Structure formats: C-alpha cells, structure tokens
C-alpha cells in the first residue's frame, strides 16, 4: 500500500476543465495524476452533470485522492436573515456533504457560511445566528461520514462573514464542532491579512487545508507573494494537511462559477504546463521549509 504523504499536494479541477461532466472529470483525474499530484479538488458548483460513481472509480484507479469544495448563491445563503433562504443554503450544503461522501472525499471545504459574492451591507446578527446553527448541523452530518469541514477565509468582495483567519477561528469556536477546521488561501490572505505567516501560526493545529495561489492567480512565483514565509510558517505549526494549487484563467470557463470568481483575464492557456510548474514549485517549497 502506498503511504499517504504528510502534505498531499493537490490541484483544483478548474486548471483542467470547467465542466463536471464525465469526460471533463476523467480528463481532470488523468491529467492531475500525470502531473504528479496526490489529490484533485472538485468544485460542486454543477452536481447535476457529475457522475459521482464514475469519478470516484477513475480517481481510485489513478490512486488519486479527492477533495470537494463549493460556495453558495444569494438565493440559497445560510447567512441570510430570511429563514427560508438560509434553509435552502443548508439543504444545499447537506446535499454537497452527501455527494462528497459518495465520492470518497474526506474533506469538504469552501465558503460554506455565505454566498460567494459581494454583499452591499454588513452581516445581519440574525444571519450570523443562522450560520452558526446551520454549520453545527452540517458538521454533525459530515462527522457521521468521517469527514472534515474546512471554512475557507475569503476576501471582502466574496463574503461579509469571514475575511480573516481570526474571524474564521472565532466562527469555529462559536460552532464548537471538532471536525470544523480553518482553510487558508494565500490569494485571499494577500488582500485581507497583515502578512502570510502570522495567520498560520495563529491557527496552529486548527488549520486543516491550504490553497496556494498567486496574488493574480496565475503562475506561482510570477507575482509578489512571500511564499517562503508562508511555507516556513506551515513548518512552524507542523502542518500535516493538504496543500492545493488553485489558479483560474478565462481559458477554462465554468458556467456561473467563473463569473462569481471574477475571472475576466486570460492568465494562462496551457493548464498542463501551469500544473507541472506549480507541482514543482510547491514541492520545492515544502522541501526547503522542512515540511517533509
């Protein structure tokens, strides 16, 4: 049996394909394996076309782990003060947990606490109460399948609930579920945090998942982010979770999701070259920081 790496290196499926249809998923699985990755992150933005059994089988044949992620929409938003809208968001999260379970994923992450988009006002106290209650129930559902939930810290233009690691940890404390972890993303941290190191050290063993992305979401090392400091901080807290590369370009379009993420620019054309470069970049950083 192949030993699971201490820090599995992953890649987001949108590097390869915008759809979740069987052909797109097979391409993403095969390409991720060929590029040397340990796991593939699948966004559950379009589950109607997702062949769950087929995708799981393809990943198992390739020896590739799967992680699932998603955000919510304004019509199904757990942070809404409207109980009906919040309930629709919770139902969507519950359905996503079941899909992730059936895919064999042990981790389900993302902005699970709100819609993915720019709000025009601060979070309503009633909405926060809805978030806490819903996440508690969703965490229990996930725990029944041995799954961990990751609260991704996103920037102010994508949520009004959690924008910093500190806010994420406060929400985790308020929910009080042991399988609820923090998910940090260097792209979002560049916008909201003072630096890339202190949030990692503040999270400590409550950090469960990491997204690596440049400040413009293109090739790693082509922007201005201090990845050396970030990886050293991961080593300081003895981080043992996945490290997943996330990059978006108008060359690969996911209906709806690409617009939600404001992917207007063509930052790369060759996903295979991008992914190989990112795999080597992350592996070198992991090695140099003494993570494994």
Name the token pair of 81: 């003060």
Give the three-state DSSP class for 152.
strand
C-alpha pair distances (Å), 231 with each of 21, 99, 287: 35, 32, 10
Closest CA to 188 of 218, 222, 221, 165: 165
Provide Rg for the chain, Cα atoms. 18
Catalytic (active site) residue 152: yes
Read off the tokens for 38.
Answer: 């340990």
Burial degree of 130 (CB within 10 A; 0-12, 13-18, 19+) = buried
Q: Give DSSP secondary structure letters for 65-78.
A: EEEEE--BBTTB-T
Which of 90, 152, 158, 193 is flagged as catalytic?
152
165 within 8 A of 150, measured Cβ to Cβ = no
Whether 193 is catalytic is no
Angle between helices 227-236 and 271-289 (to 10 degrees): 50
The answer to whether the beta carbons of residues 201 and 234 sit under 8 Å apart is: no
Of 41, 90, 214, 246, catalytic: 246
Contact partners, residue 257, CB within 8 Å, separation at least 6: 14, 18, 43, 45, 46
Chain centroid, CA 268 distance in Å? 21
Residue 191, both tokens: 């916008």
Q: Which residues are catalytic?
A: 152, 246
């Amino acid at each position: 049996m192949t030993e699971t790496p201490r820090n599995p290196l992953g890649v987001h499926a949108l590097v390869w394909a915008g759809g979740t249809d069987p052909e797109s998923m097979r391409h993403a699985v095969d390409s991720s394996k060929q590029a040397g990755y340990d796991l593939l992150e699948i966004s559950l933005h379009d589950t109607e076309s997702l062949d769950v059994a087929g995708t799981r089988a393809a990943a198992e044949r390739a020896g590739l782990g799967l992680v699932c992620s998603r955000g919510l929409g304004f019509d199904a938003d757990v942070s809404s003060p409207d109980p009906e809208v919040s309930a629709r968001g919770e139902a969507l999260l519950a359905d996503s947990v079941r899909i992730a379970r059936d895919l064999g994923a042990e981790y389900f992450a993302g902005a699970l606490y709100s819609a993915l988009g720019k709000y025009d006002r601060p979070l309503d106290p009633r909405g926060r109460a809805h978030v806490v209650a819903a996440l508690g129930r969703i965490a229990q559902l996930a725990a029944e399948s041995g799954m961990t939930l990751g609260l991704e810290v996103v920037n102010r233009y994508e949520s009004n609930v959690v924008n910093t690691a500190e806010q994420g940890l406060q929400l985790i404390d308020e929910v009080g579920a042991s399988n609820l972890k923090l998910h940090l993303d260097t792209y979002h941290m560049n916008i909201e945090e003072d630096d890339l190191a202190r949030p990692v050290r503040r999270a400590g063993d409550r950090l469960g998942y990491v997204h690596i992305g440049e400040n413009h979401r293109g090739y790693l090392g082509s922007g201005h982010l201090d990845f050396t400091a970030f990886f050293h901080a991961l080593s300081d807290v003895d981080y043992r979770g996945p490290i997943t590369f996330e990059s978006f370009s108008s060359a690969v379009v996911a209906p709806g999701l690409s617009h939600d993420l404001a992917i207007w620019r063509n930052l790369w054309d060759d996903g295979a070259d991008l992914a190989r470069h990112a795999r080597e970049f992350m592996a070198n950083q992991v090695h140099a920081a003494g993570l494994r």
